[in-house]
Amino acid sequence: MNAADSSKEQIDALKNEFRSETVRITSPGLEEILYKPIPVLDHGFIRVVDYMGTDASIVQAARVSYGAGTKKVQEDRGLINYLMRHSHTTPFEMCEIKLHLKMPMFVARQWVRHRTASMNEYSARYSVLSADFYIPKNSQLSKQSKNNKQGKSDDKLDEASSKEILEILKNSSRDAYEKYLHMIDDLSLARELARTVLPVSVYTEMYWKMDLHNLLHFLKLREDSHAQYEIREYAKVILDIVKRWTPIVYDAFVNYRKDAVVLSKTRAGLLKRMLKGEKITQENSGLSKGEWFEFATAFDIKD
């Protein structure tokens, strides 16, 4: 039995033991997927374990200063849009979500940089790790970018190189795990040291709890096209969970944060000059080549 099956059995047992009606506000969209693992990558998953609040909770918190409760949906949408547009963040902190995550170790190391969460990770000091290792798809094998030191380029590897790389990854993972078990079972080495032979492609698990405000910040960074493919796949699933959980917040986030274009004072000035008919190029814009590229891409400007 793997960890996901074991966790499901424990959750089912708890549901049966403590099943009861609730008078607290619930999200129909999240109730449909509660406790159900959503597959990510080859062996990973995301499972919603618990949550608190909905769109209405945010509206209620924002209006508490003058005692008004929730109003019509359209008025609630207008208020949430206003809060998102003007970065009034504390009402979004009224909502929280707890996720059960399974991901490759190297993804987890990126994940924990978001220090505004509460988390507890599976301990390889106390338990033996499973034999699950991340093996990327052939389509994800690309050359190192020459311009971006922490990313890959669009240049795909040839078929022979890709095949060799996948074989190396599969064989090295299998060999490392065999040595890991050998040191534990046959040589009696402590698990906390035996684990050091395992590569960062091994899967780990954690419980991760975060409020909605900080979750949206996580999604802004990790669902972005510049984020590493593997963590972006998890972020896409979480973004869909947010859509189910707080659909009005989701729409506001996509409109004002995720797909929005932020203009500096300089760029706003350039845009005003262009609207007046002035010809603006990188040379007379005062922007560096990198800044100009971002500006021109955002507004489809052709030199």
CB atoms within 10 A of CB 27: 23
Residue whose structure tokens are 């924002």: 62
How far, in Å, CA of 293 to CA of 60, rounded? 42
78-109: b or e for each residue (b if 16 or more CB lie within 10 Å)? ebbbebbeeeeeebbbbbbbbbbbbbbbbbbe
Instruction: Tell me which residues are annotated as active site.
Output: 222
How far, in Å, CA of 276 to CA of 260, rounded? 23
For residues 157 and 165, is the Cβ–Cβ distance under 8 A? yes
Distances (CA, A) of 188 to 131, 173, 194: 19, 21, 9
Rg (CA), the chain: 24
H/E element, 112: none
Residue 275's contacts (CB-CB under 8 Å, 6 or more residues apart) are: none
Q: Phi-psi bin for 122: left (phi > 0), alpha (psi -120 to 50), beta?
A: beta
Residue 103's contacts (CB-CB under 8 Å, 6 or more residues apart) are: 40, 41, 44, 111, 203, 204, 205, 230, 231, 234
